A and B are shown apart, each in its own frame.
Chain A
C-alpha cells in the first residue's frame, strides 16, 4: 500500500514536471508566433523600427530553447521516462528546435522588412505576402493549439495546409519573375521579397513538422516523410482496430 502511494506520488510529480515543460514550450511558441506576426506587420506597415525590434529580440527565443532543452535533459536523467512519457519528451525536444528555426526565419523577415521599409513600396502593398503570411501564421497558431490539446485531427489539418503554402510560394515566385522582367529596377526589391516569401514557406514547413510530432506523441507513430493520405489511412486502421489513442495523455 505504501509503495503504491509512493509511486503515485512520484508519477504525480513527474506529471507536474511534464506539464510545466509543456507550458514552457507553448510560452516559447507564443513568443515565436508574435515575432513572426510582428515581422510581417513590419513589412506590411513599412515600420522599420518594428522590424529591427523583431530581429533584436530573437536571442530571447534562443534562450528559451536552451532552458527547455536543459529541463528535458534533466527529466530524462532523473525520471527515465518510458513509453508515452518518453515520446512526449522526445517530441518536445524536436518541437523546440523547429520553434527556434521559426524564430530565426522571423528574425530574417524582420531584418529584411526594416530594410524594405526605407525603399519605395510596390503598388499592391505586398498583398500576396499578406495573404501568405496569414496562412502561415494561422498554421503556426493551429499547430500550437493542437499541441496544447493533443489534437491529432487539428494537427493533420495543419499538415494539409502546407500544400497550400507551397502553391502560394510558387505563385509569388512566378509573379516576381514577371515583375523583374518588366522592370529591372525592381529586381533588388523583388529579391528581398523572395527571401521573405522563402522564410514564410520555411515557417510553414516547421509548423507542419510540429504537427507531425504531435501525431507521433499521441499515437507513437513516426509520420515524417509519409504522404498525408497514408498517414490518415494508418491512423484510421489503428482506430478501427480499437487501439486506445490515449488522447489528452500526459
Chain B
C-alpha cells in the first residue's frame, strides 16, 4: 500500500523545513565562528518541538474520549487528523452496535411472552422479564441453574424426556398464583435452546366454560326429553288415536329417540373431556366383550347376515371397561348400520409386538377418501340425508377417538366406496397383559 499523497507532501515539506532550519543555523553559527554548533542547536530545538508534539499526541490518545485532538501542522497535523478520523469511525460503529444491542434486548424484554435462553445442559443463560414473572425465575441469581430444577411440573419433565418439541406442553402452576402455562422448547445454534412460555389461562378457562356449558345443557335437556318421549309412547299406543296421526307420532318418537341419543353421547363426550388424565383401569377380557357385542348386533331388527368374531389372542387389555365398551360398541354399531342385510361384519382382536389391535371390518357402502380425515369430528356427516335416517348422533367416532386417546391408542380407518370399511383400534404394548399372567395389584399397572 502506498502512503497517502497528502502525507507524502507533508513529509516533503517537513524535510525541506528541517533542511532550511539547519542551513539558517549553520549561517548563524558561521557568524559566531561555530557553524556545527549552530546546526546542532537548531536541530536540538527541532527535536524538542517534536518531543513536545509526541508527548501531546500521547496525552491525547490516553484521554481521547474527553479531550480534543491537539492543534498541529505538517506531518503531525496529518497523523493526528488520521487518528482522529479512525477514532470517530470506531466510536460511531460501537455506538451503533450498542444501540442495536439495547434495542434488541429491550424488544425481547418487552415481549408479552416469556423467553429463556438455555445452554446445551439446559442451564439458564438469560431470560426476559416476562419469563421471570411467569416461571418465578429471579434475575441474576437463577442464571446457571437447570431449568427443570425450577420448573418442576411433571408434565414438563415428561416433555423434556420425550424430546419431541413440535408442540407446546401446557402445565398448571399453582404457585405463586393459579396459572396455565404453555411451554415450548426451540433448538437453535450450537446446542442452545430457547424456552418460550405463554400464559394460556384465559384460553383454558374459556375451554372449561365451553365444556361445562355442553355438559350442563345436555343434562338439562335430558329431563324434558324423557317427558316428551314418555307421552309420545303413551299416545302411540292409544287406541282412541285417529289413524291420520299414527305416522306423525311415529316420526316424532323416532326424532325424540335420536335427540336422546345425541344428548347421551354429548354427556359421554363431555365426561371424557373433563379429565384429560390417562385412564387407568383393569384387565379386560376382549374376547368376551366381542361375543357380547355380536349378540347385540344380532338382536337388532335388521342386521347383516354374517357377524363373525375372531379373537386370536386371549391377552387382556388394560382399560376402563365402560369406556372401552362404549368405543367398541360404537364401531360395531356403525358397521351394522351401514352394511346391508346380505353383507358381513367381522370383529378381530389380535396382539403382536406393536401392541393390541381391535378391528371391525364390514362389507358395507364404504367411505370416500376425502371424508376419512374428518370422520372423527363432531357431527361430521359423510352423507347428511342418509345418516339422519339411520338415527346416529354424529358423535360416535368422536367418542371412539377420545377413548383411544385416553388409553394411549389410535384409530386407523381404511375404506373405499362400495368395498366396505375397516376401523382398527391400536393399543400400545404396555396396555396388554398376556392371559396367563396374574395381575398382583391393579395399582402397579402403570409403573
B143 → chain A closest CB, angstroms: 11
Given A53-B277, A145-B136, A138-B175 contact (CB < 8 Å): yes
Write out the residue numbers on chain B whose beta carbons fall within 8 Å of the beta carbon of A23.
Answer: 146, 148-149
Q: Is A29 an interface residue (CB 8 A)?
A: yes
B149 touches which one: A26, A34, A49, A151 (CB < 8 A)?
A26
The 8 A CB mask of B262-300 against A (1 = contact, 0 = none) is: 000000000000010100100000000000000000000
Write out the residue numbers on chain A whose beta carbons fall within 8 Å of the beta carbon of B220.
Answer: none
Stretch with Cβ within 8 A of B (4 or more), from A55-63, A111-119, A204-212, A223-231:
A55-63
Q: Is B154 a contact partner of A149 (Cβ separation < 8 A)?
A: no
Q: Is A56 a contact partner of B280 (Cβ separation < 8 A)?
A: yes
Q: Is B152 a contact partner of A30 (Cβ separation < 8 A)?
A: yes
Write out the residue numbers on chain B whose beta carbons fall within 8 Å of the beta carbon of A151.
Answer: 141
A30 touches which one: B154, B444, B446 (CB < 8 A)?
B154
B152 touches which one: A27, A60, A63, A142 (CB < 8 A)?
A27
A58, closest chain B residue (CB): B443
A59 touches which one: B141, B152, B174, B443 (CB < 8 A)?
B443
> Once bound together, how far apart are the Cα atoms of A60 and B174, in whole Å?
21
Write out the residue numbers on chain B whose beta carbons fall within 8 Å of the beta carbon of A137.
Answer: 174-175
Q: Is B47 an interface residue (CB 8 A)?
A: no
Majority SS of interface residues in chain A? helix
> Once bound together, how far apart are the Cα atoms of A137 and B174, in whole Å?
8
Q: Is A201 an interface residue (CB 8 A)?
A: no
Q: Is B148 a contact partner of A26 (Cβ separation < 8 A)?
A: yes
- What is the interface residue range for chain A against chain B? 20 to 34
Q: Is B257 an interface residue (CB 8 A)?
A: no
Q: Is A144 a contact partner of B142 (Cβ separation < 8 A)?
A: no
Q: Is A141 an interface residue (CB 8 A)?
A: yes
Write out the residue numbers on chain A whose beta carbons fall within 8 Å of the beta carbon of B145.
Answer: 148-149
The 8 A CB mask of B408-447 against A (1 = contact, 0 = none) is: 0000000000000000000000000000000000011011
Given A49-B275, A56-B443, A59-B444, A33-B141 contact (CB < 8 Å): no
The 8 A CB mask of B347-372 against A (1 = contact, 0 = none) is: 00000000000000000000000000
Q: Is A34 a contact partner of B153 (Cβ separation < 8 A)?
A: yes
A49, closest chain B residue (CB): B275
Given A63-B447, A138-B176, A145-B150 contact (CB < 8 Å): yes
Q: Is A27 a contact partner of B443 (Cβ separation < 8 A)?
A: no
Task: Report how many residues on chain B are interfacial, defined by Cβ distance under 8 Å.
Answer: 23
**Which of chain A's residues 188-229 have a Cβ closer than 8 Å to chain B?**
none
> Once bound together, how far apart are the Cα atoms of A77 and B304, in whole Å?
69
**Which of chain A's residues 97-138 have a Cβ closer than 8 Å to chain B?**
137-138
**Which of chain B's residues 226-270 have a Cβ closer than 8 Å to chain A?**
none
B204 → chain A closest CB, angstroms: 14
Write out the residue numbers on chain A whose beta carbons fall within 8 Å of the beta carbon of B149.
Answer: 22-23, 26, 148
B161, closest chain A residue (CB): A27
Q: Is A34 a contact partner of B447 (Cβ separation < 8 A)?
A: no
The 8 A CB mask of A56-79 against B (1 = contact, 0 = none) is: 110110010000000000000000
Write out the residue numbers on chain A whose beta carbons fall within 8 Å of the beta carbon of B447.
Answer: 59-60, 63
> Once bound together, how far apart are the Cα atoms of A142 and B152, in whole Å?
12
Write out the residue numbers on chain B whose beta carbons fall within 8 Å of the beta carbon of A142.
Answer: 175
**Top 4 closest pairs, chain A to chain B, by CB:** A30-B152, A141-B175, A148-B149, A26-B149
The 6 sampled A-B contact pairs (Cβ below 8 Å) are A23-B146, A34-B153, A63-B447, A142-B175, A149-B141, A248-B144
Interface residues of B (CB under 8 A from A): 136, 141-142, 144-146, 148-150, 152-154, 157, 174-176, 275, 277, 280, 443-444, 446-447
Interface residues of A (CB under 8 A from B): 19, 22-23, 26-27, 29-31, 33-34, 37, 49-50, 53, 56-57, 59-60, 63, 137-138, 141-142, 144-145, 148-149, 151, 248
Query: Known pairs A59-B443, A60-B446, A148-B149. 16 more at Cβ < 8 A?
Result: A22-B149, A26-B148, A30-B152, A31-B154, A33-B152, A34-B154, A37-B174, A50-B275, A53-B280, A56-B280, A137-B174, A138-B175, A138-B176, A141-B174, A148-B145, A148-B146
